Structure 1
Amino acid sequence: MLVTKNVAELCVLLIRELYGQLPSRIFADLLGRGRSTVVQIAQHTSLNFRQVRHGIAVLIQLNLIYHNTDPESGIVNYEANSYAAYNLTRTGKILDMVRNKYGNHGYTLVHEVLVQGHAKISDLVKAFQVRRNEQHEGANGANGASQNGTSHNGHNHVNGNGVTNGTDDLDMVYKDEDFDIEAQAFDNLAQLIAAGILEPVTPMAYQSPQDIRSTVEQEFMADYPTGLRGSKQTSEFERNVRDKLREIQGESTRLKRKLELEFTYELGAKRRKLTNGAAANEFSGAKARSVLLEEFDTVLRVNYDKCMVELRNLRLKRYAEDLIGNITAQVYETLLAVLSKKIPRCQVDRSIEVEEDNDDAHTGPRVTTQEVFEQLSSAIDVSAGIGFPSEDTIDIRRAEKIRRYPPQLKGSTLHQELEEGEEIVGSDDEDYDHSGEAAANYGYHGQNGSDDVKMQTDDGLPVGAARLHQMRQHLLILAESKEGFVRHCGGRDFGEWTVDFEPLMQHLKFVELDTIIENRFGRHGLRLTRILREKGKIDDKTLPSLALMKKPDVHVKMAEMEMGGFLDVQEVPRDNNRTAARTIFFWFFDLDRTLQRTVDNTCKSMVRCLQRLDVERLKRKDVLATAERKDVRGNEETMLRGYAYTEYVQFIDVEKKLLGQVMRLDDIVAVFRDY
């Protein structure tokens, strides 16, 4: 896999930061020289065979390299996986996302898998039991110390699943002596596997996508001894290869589908909601235990593709919150959570996916209003954040119009052959009763404008119908936004909704890119960039009049942005002399090239942050060596005194700032490249 110098250096620094110098040295050689054997790695790195084999074993355990065996010679070749190495920067984000969405138990299991690279289900259950017992003993010790007069500043936090964090909450969990830790481990493992956060490790997972495709193609080429002849054989061969690759890709989801069938993941969530958790543990625990016991020796690893989908949902939720509001963003987060169950990865592999002639192939997965409403948290007050204008100011057909196809990308060469008016196929409320709108709105709100969902409406509608209607108004607000957070795509009974991620993420890319350009080149640079992005190639003589700027100022600013890699110029001579006076200079903005350069520069900034962290550690190596002692660790304030503790606190502060900056830079890379 070809990567830039800055990305390669970043991957090597991340591996050295987390796993030591030996694996990072081998990984750097694989990135620089490509796939190599053990003998070649030993020659290039000046390491002995024992060290090379140990380092390769560590990298394979952590899923950081691919390996492929030549069937004729039996020689094993190793290749660096730069995508997995870069994902080490997102370990903290993934763990934080898992804690907020799946609770402390899910956090413990995913953390264990991330530390080990991959682990068996049996080992995870044992590690979960040990970790829970240690936390239980620590919670009891902390509570005993607080009762003896020692102050205890525990910060408790309640996440979206109702799981509380903090030592006091852990003590409450373990007060029940009959609490089955093993059943809890099976239940949380089943939930993580059914959600796609953890996936089984298959033999093909250790081979690069290029090797897998090459192996499949060679297998099917045996059926064509004389080679491919004609378009019919070529299309048949490509279809067979596609089907085989899809079958190989589906092997990692075998356990997930089995859990969804036996564990009944979506129905189980609904049942937990209806029974207030009374029968949920019995139902899910029994199913989870029976299914996972059959797969007790299955090896699991973290599915970074699915984690990226969850992180993208959080990014879009924050984007909607900044533009629209908190309540609407929470409704949007619920819709994305329901929709993401049908989305295995952010970017679709076009070489595997088949273009079908149905609506789902063109419009993507859909969810109904009822599905979103069933998963909406009861703690969200959907009556807030929206207003209800008078009946005569609402155009129902426009507000509830259905868009069958997604919007076209800006600057895209894709042309859809649609008849005029075919995109809007009507409204799912053509038989809408306008008189009921005003009555319902009046019933939802009091005279003073207060929102009280608990009261019954004046026209006799139940409370659930009022809450459903209010939630639907938030979805319509998202659908009407110029950013296109949601598209109303069909359904007359409950309504169907989808999210066009590609144009939405393109809009978010423009927002992030405009922020970078404005911070670096000012408002004039941003104005020129937007003009070129909208108009395409423009002559340098026409550009000043469009930008309402002086010609010398335009030339200075354009040259500055060209040196920065954000704009390009094309020279078109009028004659063979190629003089400047007889040459037309066309300025243009190349989005793909600009994004690649920005990602590379961002990775360079991340490298600088990690290098600065190494320098800070070298400055305070004596203090840090003392702080790493077992008798000092955890008691730094009492064991380190005077200047030593001051130096230690200063280093911790610098480390937090540098690592926090790396996380913020990773947000830019994720938006520009991975989402």
Structure 2
Amino acid sequence: MLVTRNAADLCALLVNELYGQLPSRIVAALLARGRSNVRDLALHTSLNPKQVRHGLALAIQHNLVFYQTDHETATTIYEGNPQASYHLARVGKILDVIDRKYGVMAKNLVNDLLMLGHVEVAELVRYHRLKHSLKKGRTNGEQNHDHDHNLDPYPYLNNDNDFKNGDPDDPFNDDSHYVNGNGTAHGIADDVMPIQANEVYDTLAQLIAAGVIESVSATMFQSPQDLKASVEQECTKEFPNGVRGAKVTTEFDAMVKSQIRAIGVERTTMKRKLQENALYEPSNIKRRKLANGGMSNGFAGDSGGSILRDEPNTVVRLNFDKCLVELRNQKLTEHAEDFVGETTAQVFAALLSSLCKKVYRCQHDQHTIMTEEEEETYFTGVRVTSEEIFDNLSPGVDVSAGVGTASEEDIDIRFAEKIRKYPPQIQGSHLHETLDEGDEILGSDDEDYDRSGEHLKKAHANGHHGSIAQNGTKPSRDHSGEGQSSRTEQMRQMRQHLLILAEAKQQFVRHCGQNEWTVDFGPLIQQLRYVELDTMIEDNFGRQGLRLTRILREKGKLDDKTLPAMALMRKPDVHVKMAEMEMAGFLEVQEVPRDNNRAANRTIFFWFFDEARTLKRVLDNVYKSMVRCLERLEVERYNKRNVLSLTDRRDIQGKEEEMLRGDVYNEYLEFTEIEKKLFSQVSRLDDLVSIFQDF
């Protein structure tokens, strides 16, 4: 897979940051040289074959490298996986969103998977119980302080060298003692109970059913291109006379598509089993509260652990595609909050959470492996009902607040209740709907709603009356109807927020059917891209550069004579600004000569904005900036190597202020401050990469 040099350097630095120098050198060689075997890698990395094989095993363990074996020549070819390598920049964001949505134990399980790579379920549960119980239960005076700087992009993963399996069946046969790496027995404190295996299995089942963790099959170690090529090669054997003619080609394509779907079904067997047998809650059951105070996302997880216990050899790993969907939902919720307010944004988050159960990845291409259900979802879109949204809404959200008051004569019911069958289409920077009058449904799915007396309720909501109890606290909302209002009334109030989202200029939500709602992710992400591009252009070229860019984005190609009149600018100023933006790569110019002489006065210069080309250049510049941040971090670590060597000692970790001398401690604080700034900058740059490419 071809990547730019800056992207390849960034991937190598990210792998080096989390997994060390050996896999980093191999990934860098594969991204720079392309597909290679062990002999070529030994030549390009200056490592011996034994070291190369060890590094490849570690890289394959973490899905950083694909491999393909030719059965005729028995030669294995390795290929770098730049997507998985770059995803390491989002480790902190992923752990944060997992913590808030699924709880602390789920976050720790994901953290363990990031450290171990793909691993069997039984081994993961055993490792998780032993590691986190050891952290809690040391009573001999030695504390296990994690080297954690609370940084977004790169949480340091603790490398527990004192991990020992003990009994392979159960390391907690004796609840009162454990054995560490030096063979010394220590007792567990009375107030610290070891983590129960049932809790770990249930949480793991919840994550697998949600798609955050996926089961691993043999086909996942091949690149999608190689996998499709191998399937086509196998199908070709069924046609000894060759694939010729329209009929035979159609049969061949159908056979290839069927086998690829079968591979997709094989990959999701465990997920489907957990969803169908145990993990979906009925809609009328109140959702359980997580340990961190959040709410579950609709998965019960009561018998999911028993299903995983029956298949302990199932190999699992983290699914970054699903994690990107969660990160996209978070970004869109923040975007909506800027325009429609906090309460309506929380309703939008509940809608996105409902859609998230049926959305498996953000991006699709011709090599994406999908099941028949996923293909149908991708091509027909995902819809959810108001009941599903309400069930995913947190009980702490007061849906009676955040809705303004308007008289009935000021509301166009036909427009407010209009159902839009088709998503909006993007033309330049504006969104236009391709909806014929005959396809427009003007009926309402809320025609029986009695609006009498509604104005008084809205007035109370706007004035914060009626939603504040006598003691000044806001009463909590109860889905069961025992709170301040019934379920039906709360659903009607929530529906008003959905209509606000649908009527907004940004069109966050589309009312697509009777009591059905959906989100058109393409136009929304396009708006985010335009916002970031406009901010970037305005910061670099001022308001005039932004005005010219918006005109070209909307009108297309314009000559240099028409553009000054439309921009209300002087012609010399336009020429200077356009030349400056062309040099920076934000605008392009096309020369159309009127005759063969190609004289400047006989040439028409058409200026235009090429969005795809601009995004590629911006992304490459972002990669370069991230590389420089990480390289600067390496320089700072080298300059402070004496101080860091002290803080890495286990007897000093967590007690730096007490153990270090004053001047040494000040140097340590200075380094941590620089480190936080660099990591924060990398995190902000990663937001641009997500918007411009991954979402």
Band of TM-score, shorter chain:
0.7 to 0.9
For 1:660 and 1:526, the matched residues in 2 are separated by 27
| Contact 1:391–1:438 under 8 Å retained in 2 | no
Partner secondary structure for residue 333 of structure 1: helix
Residue identity opposite 1:202 in structure 2: S
What is the rounded CA distance, in whole Å, between the counterparts of 2:458 and 2:428 in structure 1? 44
Query: Would you say 1:636 and 2:650 are equivalent positions?
Result: no
Alignment partner of 1:297 out of 313, 319, 322 = 313
The residue aligned with 1:170 is none
| Aligned: 1:399 with 2:416 | yes
Secondary structure class of the residue paired with 2:452: helix
User: Tell me, what secondary structure is at the counterpart of 2:600?
Assistant: coil
Equivalent in 502, 519, 523 of residue 503 of structure 1: 523
Q: 2:466 aligns with which of 452, 462, 466?
A: 452
Residue 488 (1) aligns with residue 511 (2): yes
Structure 1 residue 115: Cα displacement? 0.7
The residue aligned with 1:349 is 365
**3-state SS of paired residue (1:229):** coil
2:261/2:372 contact within 8 Å kept = no
Identity among equivalent pairs (%): 52
Question: Match for 1:218 among 233, 239, 247?
Answer: 233
1:270–1:647: structure 2 CA closer, same or farther, 3 Å change rule? farther
Report the alpha carbon displacement of residue 244 of structure 1 after superposing the two structures with TM. 1.6
The corresponding residue for 1:466 is 489
Deviation at 1:131, TM superposition (A): 3.6
Give, in whole Å, the separation in 2 of the partners of 1:616 and 1:276: 40
Shift in Å, 1:354: 9.8
Paired residues, number: 629
Aligned equivalent of 1:582, options 568, 588, 602: 602
1:670 and 2:690 matched = yes
The one-letter code of the counterpart of 2:519 is V
Unmatched segments (≥5 aa) in structure 1: 144-154, 156-173
Structure 1 residue aligned with 2:174: none
Greater relative CO, 1 or 2 (CA 8 Å, sep 6+): 2
2: distance between equivalents of 1:121 and 1:452?
51
- Corresponding residue SS for 1:560: helix
Matching residue of 1:318: 334
Quote how far apart the aligned CAs of 1:361 are: 6.2
SS at match of 2:68: strand
- Residue 169 of structure 2 is matched in structure 1 by none
Cα pair 1:383 1:451 within 8 Å, conserved:
no
Within the alignment, does 1:380 sit opposite 2:397 as a pair?
Answer: yes
1:259 to 266, 271, 274: 274
Alignment of 1:155-554 (within 5 A): 181-267=196-282, 271-273=285-287, 284=300, 286-350=302-366, 363-411=380-428, 420-429=436-445, 431-432=447-448, 436-443=450-457, 446=460, 449-452=463-466, 463-491=486-514, 495-554=515-574
CA RMSD between the two structures: 3.0
1:90 maps onto 2:107 in alignment: no
Cα 1:443–1:566 change in 2 (3 A) is closer
Q: Secondary structure at the match of 1:409?
A: strand
- Cα gap change, 1:621/1:423 in structure 2, threshold over 3 Å: closer, same or farther? farther
Distance 1:360 1:660, change over 3 A: closer
Counterpart position of 1:10: 10
Would you tell me which structure has more helix in proportion to its own residues?
1
Partner of 2:646: 626
Report the CA distance between 1:275 and its aligned residue. Answer: 11
**Contact 2:560 / 2:607 at 8 angstroms: preserved in 1?**
yes
Cα distance change of structure 1 residues 140 and 240 upon mapping to structure 2, 3 Å threshold = farther
Which residue identity does 1:646 align to in structure 2?
N
Distance in 1 separating the partners of 2:130 and 2:229: 44
Deviations 1:179-222 (A, max 9, x none): 97111111100110011000011101110011100000011111
Cα pair distance change 1:415/1:637, threshold 3 Å: closer
**TM-score, length-normalised on structure 2?**
0.85
For 2:643 and 2:279, how far apart are their aligned partners in 1?
A: 54
Q: 1: distance between equivalents of 2:238 and 2:528? A: 47
> What's the TM-score once normalised by structure 1's chain length?
0.88
Residue type of the partner of 1:316? Answer: L
- Aligned residues of 1:397 and 1:430 also touching (Cα < 8 A): no
Residue 408 of structure 1: SS of its match in structure 2? strand
1:138–1:523 CA distance, 2 compared to 1 (3 A): farther
Q: Is the 8 A contact 2:419 2:441 kept in 1?
A: yes
Equivalent-residue separation in structure 1 for 2:228 and 2:593 (angstroms): 46
- Contact kept, 8 Å, 1:313 with 1:337, in 2: the verdict is yes
Q: Alpha-carbon deviations, 1:208-259, whole Å to 9, x = none?
A: 0111000000111112222222222222222221222122123221111000
Structure 2 residue runs of 5 or longer lacking an equivalent are 144-149, 151-188, 468-474, 479-483
Per the alignment, do residues 141 and 270 of structure 1 end up closer, same or farther by CA in structure 2, a change over 3 Å counting? farther
State the one-letter code of the partner of 1:215.
Answer: S
Secondary structure (helix, strand or coil) at the match of 1:331 reads helix
Deviations 1:132-173 (A, max 9, x none): 423543699999xxxxxxxxxxx9xxxxxxxxxxxxxxxxxx
Mapped to 2, the partners of 1:466 and 1:447 lie a distance apart of 14
Residue identity matched to 1:674: D
